Structures are given as structure tokens and as C-alpha cells.
Amino acid sequence: MSNVSDILLYALPGFLAVQLYRTFYPAKRQSQFEIIVPSVLHSVIIYVGLHYASCLPRWKEIGLPSLQSKSLSIAEPSTILILLSGGLFWGCLLITYYRWIRVHLPFLPQPDPLAIWPLVATDAPKANLWVLACTKQGLRYFGWLERHSFDPTVKDHDFLLRPAYLVDNNLHVQRDLKVGGVYLNTRDIESLEINHAGEWGKVFQKAHQPGSAG
């Protein structure tokens, strides 16, 4: 039982760092093996960093416990707190400087295969971008991406455009849906065009004119 607890404690900082990274960069679901291996690898980096940090005089002056002489299975709460803090700190570095870290530590794998949909759906409203959704049935909807769903266990996801406008191939408004919007699923989408509202020209101007409904 002690060996099991030791393994869990060794992997905990890396697991925490990887999960923190995933909260900022949503990813597809992975197998347990694909989760454990990066967690252990990142834990090794965290432990090396903490080992050298614990050798500094300032570490001892503060009164922090040594990580070199104690078994993690009987670690004091303060030691566990240091390990968790190391995981949080490394997770923040991954979020902020992952590309730079990958250049200097090329053996590091990507924590997860990133899912494109939640990144696009989240960033579009933040950047004040509007969407032109072209369906497989040949319909075109222009609108604001108000809501979206993301479940890494499924392939297709729902989203709501509101306000929204049904437009033709020339981007002329055919139907005004700005009150209720239009509910769509990514499985029915042929393509998504994303741009600033002003770049859409006719459709944006016409959509915002009184009585523009088709």
C-alpha cells in the first residue's frame, strides 16, 4: 500500500500541472496511459526543480522542509503543500510559455491533442468576430456565436447563433432570426467563416437596417 501511495504522490504534481493546462486549453479525451505518462514526465521536471530549490540557503531560512531526506509516503502536510505548489507553478508556466518550454525541452510531448472547436467558439466572441455558417444542405447563416457546447467524449457539438440571419450566396438577408437565433450542430456544418462584422459588408449593413427581414 505504501508503494502505491508513493507512486500517486510522485505523479500528483505533474498530473495537477497537466490538468491545469487543460482547463485553459480544452482537449480531447485520452486513455489512462496517455494521461499517466505525461503526468509522470512533468512530475520528474517538477521534482528536479524543487530539489535544486531546496538546496538554496533561502529555502532553509524560510524553514521549508527538505525534500531530499523524507519519504513521500510519510510526508508532512507542509511537504505535500510544496509539491502541490510546484505543480501549480509548473502548470502556470505551461499555460503561459509552453512554446518556449518545448523549444528548450523538446522531449516534452503536448499535454493533450487540443480540440479546435472550443478554442474557435470561445475566441470568436472575445475578438468581436461574427460567423457565417454554411450547412451541408446549402443554407447559410450569418450571426453572433452566443453559446456553444463541448464534450470531449463526443464528436459533434451544438451551438447557437443569435442574432442570426439566413442569407443567400450573395450575402443578402433572406430571413431575420435576430430574436430567436438559429440552433445548429457541427455535424451539419460544411464550413465556418469567421471575421469582423465590418468585413462582411452588405450582409452586416443590411442586417442592421430597420425592416431588413426577408
Q: What residues contact residue 160 under an 8 Å CB cut-off, 6+ apart?
A: 145, 146, 147, 148, 181, 182, 183, 184
Return the pLDDT at 214: 43
**pLDDT, tens digit (0-9, with 9 covering 90-100), for 105-150:** 766 655 555 567 777 888 888 888 889 999 999 999 999 999 988 8
Checking if the pLDDT of 95 tops 90, the result is no
Region 198-208 average pLDDT? 57
**pLDDT, tens digit (0-9, with 9 covering 90-100), for 73-90:** 445 677 777 888 888 888
Looking at per-residue pLDDT, the higher value among 157 and 98 belongs to 157
Looking at per-residue pLDDT, the higher value among 182 and 103 belongs to 182
For the chain, give the secondary structure using H, E and C.
CHHHHHHHHHHHHHHHHHHHHHHHCCECCCCHHHHHHHHHHHHHHHHHHHHHHHCCHHHHHHCCCCCCCCCHHHCCHHHHHHHHHHHHHHHHHHHHHHHHHHHHCCCCCCCCCECHHHHHHHHHHHCCEEEEEEECCCCEEEEEEEEECCCCCCCCCEEEEEEEEEECCCCCEEEECCCCCEEEEHHHEEEEEEEEHHHHCHHHHHHCCCCCCC
Domains plus CATH for the chain?
2-104 (no CATH), 116-207 (2.30.30.100)
Share of the chain above pLDDT 90, in %: 14
Checking if the pLDDT of 213 tops 50, the result is no
Question: Is the sign of the CA dihedral 29, 35, 78, 51 positive or negative?
Answer: negative
Nearest-angstrom CA–CA distance, 123 and 25: 12
pLDDT category of residue 1 using cuts at 50, 70 and 90: very low
Determine the angle formed by the axes of helices 2-24 and 32-54, rounding to 10 degrees.
Answer: 100
Return the pLDDT at 210: 47
Model pTM score: 0.51
